[in-house]
């Protein structure tokens, strides 16, 4: 267990209680209720049908694939799939909502309670409850900065399917909230129901924040809307928790309200005045009959799901002997896990994991590249691991070879050959070097034999240096012992 | 169920319908009369009866995931009071 997250106030320690609502854009060709395209970045209003523009007389017809994507997601979250769900109208006015209501699901969502496992930095896991998942329409996009007095509206996004995934208030630190988003993103990407691209807005999170003294009942919460990065989620929660603590310690009370995170100033501010309280007047959409699913179809979708991150992680731990922490890193992206499996096949899996995580990831990070752009392929890195494994090169030389591989894309074997980096494992050759070292340092040999044990490290260092790092370190140790102690 | 003046004013505001103060009282009477009429249905015992979504026995029709619509920017914005570069243009709305 890691230390619980606490904030020190003037009256003592406070804890935060967090719940997240994540809006995830469904991967589909066409929109939830119309046949227009969902592609990002097209010219304004070119991907809009008369249904999306809410022209009179248009009727919504649901896209089967969007429904199945929601079911897949529910199954991946080990959630209850509701075979009967209902679409409701959520009524509000905004310039980018042409219908004057959003088609959503209220009382009867398609997916009920489920669970998501957080992979904590200490290698343990924490279970977070999923309250529900429902399908709804995305709104259009308003551009406020194109004209001093006007707002420009683009409806290309209007009607694209969203999954709103609501967690239980089980999260208790900014880090956990961030890990929750990362894990959810990982699962959605594994099963291909959302691309998880937060910058393009395919995944946005609202965070419910409240504070309390440990052991007290839940406090009043505020909802911070529409954040599109883990970093902003961290900052917003930290700011908002402190704001609430200051109010409570000053004798005030928290108003339940919706707030915005101002990324420039790093603070949250109220979005709506109180007299304008939300009242969405939900009612079942008379244009849409209840959505009824067939259990056999749900089972079939479940059977088609790929191996999920938690299962893969457990397998990596069991089959490859990896630590939970390393396994969690390797399974986060399916492509990384596949890459690793290719690398580890027929090799020492732990050494392979170390080279991938500490060396290749480090080098990629520095170069600003991701694994798909790596100049070193899995096969190529495997070649290097093999050379370490069979004693051709030492671990230290391997780092040098790796740097060259990353630079030039050459094979490890070729570099070792060209530069003459082969580890010297020939007893005679190493003995020759050791003899020279001992001869040059006769005084120290004397001191060592006189009881100054610590000098042993010095002789190892000198021998390695003289061999230009190529001597087999294990053999150097053994032979030195024989010569000095024998 | 009976509505008071404040509730009717709030409903009008939510629906973005402007109702002058001197019309509110009359509207309270009208709406309550409609509610009273509908409330006659409460006399029917519906215990144990599932809500009915359709009398035709139809289920929700579903579409394949194919792009079959869109691509007519000019048609979509044809009725807009103002548009430019393919956008709808409206008075500035910033929260």
Cα angle B10, B15, B19 (rounded to 5 degrees) comes to 65
- Structure tokens, B82: 């103002």
- Which pLDDT score, from 0 to 100, does residue B95 have? 54
Nearest CA in chain A to B88: A153
Phi and psi at residue A418, in whole multiples of 5°?
A: -55, -45
Q: In which domain, by residue range, is A472 found? A: 427-485
- Which pLDDT score, from 0 to 100, does residue A396 have? 81
Residue numbers in B near A61 (CB within 8 A): 61-63
Determine whether the interchain pair B73/A152 forms a contact, defined as Cβ–Cβ distance below 8 Å.
Answer: no
- Which pLDDT score, from 0 to 100, does residue B65 have? 98
- Which pLDDT score, from 0 to 100, does residue A423 have? 79
Q: SS3 sequence, A407-462?
A: HHCCCHHHHHHHHCCCCECCHHHHHHHHHHHHHHCHHHHHHHHCCCCCHHHHHHHH
Least Cα separation, residue B7 to chain A (angstroms):
12
Q: Which residues of B touch A (CB under 8 A)?
A: 10, 14, 16, 53-54, 58-71, 73, 75-77, 82, 84-95
Where does a domain end: A263, A279, A301? A301
pTM of the entire predicted model: 0.87
Smallest Cβ–Cβ distance between A150 and the set B10, B61, B92 belongs to: B92
DSSP-derived 3-state class of residue A68: helix
- B33 assigned to some structural domain: yes
ipTM of the modeled complex: 0.91
- Which pLDDT score, from 0 to 100, does residue A2 have? 64
DSSP-derived 3-state class of residue A479: helix
Check whether residue A383 and residue A412 sit in a common domain: yes
Check whether residue A411 and residue A451 sit in a common domain: no
pLDDT digits (tens, 9 = 90+) for B24-53: 999 999 999 999 999 999 999 999 998 887
Nearest CA in chain B to A269: B95
- Which pLDDT score, from 0 to 100, does residue B12 have? 92
CATH label of the domain that carries residue A451: 1.10.10.410
Q: In which domain, by residue range, is B30 found? A: 5-42
- B65 assigned to some structural domain: no
Please name which of A352, A463, A356 lies closest in space to residue A406, comparing C-alpha atoms. Answer: A356
Please list the alpha-helical segments (H only) found in A48-131.
Answer: 64-76
Check whether residue A451 and residue A378 sit in a common domain: no
Smallest Cβ–Cβ distance between A28 and the set B65, B71, B88 belongs to: B65
Check whether residue A23 and residue A155 sit in a common domain: yes
**How many contacts does A have with B, using Cβ atoms within 8 A?**
133
Check whether residue A171 and residue A284 sit in a common domain: yes
- B80 assigned to some structural domain: no
Determine whether the interchain pair B71/A64 forms a contact, defined as Cβ–Cβ distance below 8 Å.
Answer: no
Per-residue pLDDT of chain A (486 residues; tens, 9 = 90+): 568 899 999 999 999 999 999 999 999 999 999 999 999 989 999 999 999 999 999 999 999 999 999 999 999 999 999 999 999 999 999 999 999 999 999 999 999 999 999 999 998 999 999 999 999 999 999 999 999 999 999 999 999 999 999 999 999 999 999 999 999 999 999 999 999 999 888 999 999 999 999 999 999 999 999 999 999 999 999 999 999 999 999 999 999 989 999 988 889 988 865 445 578 999 999 999 999 999 999 999 999 999 999 999 999 999 999 999 999 999 999 999 999 999 999 999 999 999 999 999 999 999 999 999 999 999 999 999 998 888 788 888 889 899 999 999 899 888 988 887 777 778 888 889 999 999 999 899 989 988 888 899 999 999 988 888 888 888 888 899 888 886
Determine whether the interchain pair B70/A37 forms a contact, defined as Cβ–Cβ distance below 8 Å.
Answer: yes
Rounded to a whole number of angstroms, the distance between the first and last alpha carbons of chain B is: 35
Smallest Cβ–Cβ distance between A289 and the set B60, B75, B93 belongs to: B60
Check whether residue A258 and residue A353 sit in a common domain: no
Q: Is the dihedral of CA B32, B34, B39, B40 positive or negative?
A: positive
- B91 assigned to some structural domain: no
- Which pLDDT score, from 0 to 100, does residue A342 have? 95
């Amino acid at each position: 267990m890691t230390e619980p997250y606490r904030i020190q106030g003037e009256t003592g320690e406070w804890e935060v209680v967090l719940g997240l609502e994540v809006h995830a854009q469904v991967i589909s060709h066409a929109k939830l209720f119309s046949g227009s395209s969902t592609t990002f970045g097209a010219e304004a209003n070119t991907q809009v049908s008369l249904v999306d523009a809410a022209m009179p007389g248009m009727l919504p017809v649901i896209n089967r694939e969007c429904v199945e994507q929601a079911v897949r997601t529910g199954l991946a979250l080990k959630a209850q799939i509701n075979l009967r769900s209902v679409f409701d109208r959520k009524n509000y006015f905004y310039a980018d909502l042409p219908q004057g209501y959003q088609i959503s699901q209220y009382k009867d969502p398609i997916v009920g309670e489920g669970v998501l496992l957080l992979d904590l930095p200490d290698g343990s896991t924490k279970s977070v409850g999923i309250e529900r998942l429902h399908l709804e329409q995305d709104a259009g996009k308003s551009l406020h900065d194109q004209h001093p007095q006007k707002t420009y509206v683009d409806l290309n996004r209007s009607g694209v399917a969203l999954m709103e995934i609501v967690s239980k208030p089980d999260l208790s630190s900014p880090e956990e909230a961030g890990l929750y988003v990362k894990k959810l993103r990982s699962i959605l990407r594994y099963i291909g129901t959302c691309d998880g691209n937060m910058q393009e807005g395919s995944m946005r999170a609202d965070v419910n924040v409240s504070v309390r003294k440990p052991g007290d009942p839940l406090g009043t919460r505020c909802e911070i809307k529409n954040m599109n990065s883990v970093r902003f989620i961290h900052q917003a929660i930290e700011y908002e928790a402190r704001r609430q603590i200051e109010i409570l310690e000053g004798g005030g009370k928290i108003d339940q309200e919706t707030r915005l995170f101002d990324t420039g100033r790093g603070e949250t501010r109220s979005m709506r005045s109180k007299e304008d309280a939300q009242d969405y007047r939900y009612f079942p959409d008379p244009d849409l009959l209840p959505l009824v699913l067939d259990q056999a179809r749900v089972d079939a979708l479940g059977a088609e799901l790929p191996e999920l991150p938690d299962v893969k992680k457990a397998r990596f731990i069991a089959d490859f002997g990896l630590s939970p922490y390393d396994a969690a890193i390797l399974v986060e992206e399916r492509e990384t896990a596949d890459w690793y499996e290719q690398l580890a096949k027929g090799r020492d899996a732990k050494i392979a994991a170390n080279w991938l995580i500490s060396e290749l990831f480090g080098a990629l990070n520095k170069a600003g590249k991701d694994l798909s752009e790596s100049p070193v392929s899995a096969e190529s890195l495997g070649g290097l691991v093999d050379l370490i494994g069979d004693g051709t090169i030492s671990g230290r030389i391997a780092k040098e070879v790796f740097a060259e591989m990353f630079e030039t894309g050459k094979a490890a074997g070729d570099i070792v050959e060209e530069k003459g980096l082969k580890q010297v494992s020939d007893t005679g050759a190493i003995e020759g070097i050791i003899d020279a070292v001992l001869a040059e340092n006769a005084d120290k040999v004397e001191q060592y034999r006189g009881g100054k044990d610590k000098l042993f490290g010095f002789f190892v260092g000198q021998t390695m240096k003289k061999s230009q790092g190529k001597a087999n370190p294990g053999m150097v140790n053994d032979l030195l012992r024989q010569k000095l102690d024998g | 169920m009976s509505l008071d003046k404040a509730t009717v004013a709030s409903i009008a505001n939510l629906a973005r319908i402007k109702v002058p103060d001197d019309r509110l009282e009359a509207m309270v009477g009208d709406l309550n009369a409609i509610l009273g009429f509908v409330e006659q249905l409460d006399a029917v015992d519906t215990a144990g009866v599932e809500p009915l979504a359709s009398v035709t026995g139809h289920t929700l029709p579903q579409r394949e995931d194919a792009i079959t619509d869109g691509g007519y920017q000019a048609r979509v914005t044809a009725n807009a009071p103002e548009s430019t570069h393919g956008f709808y243009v409206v008075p500035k709305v910033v929260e």
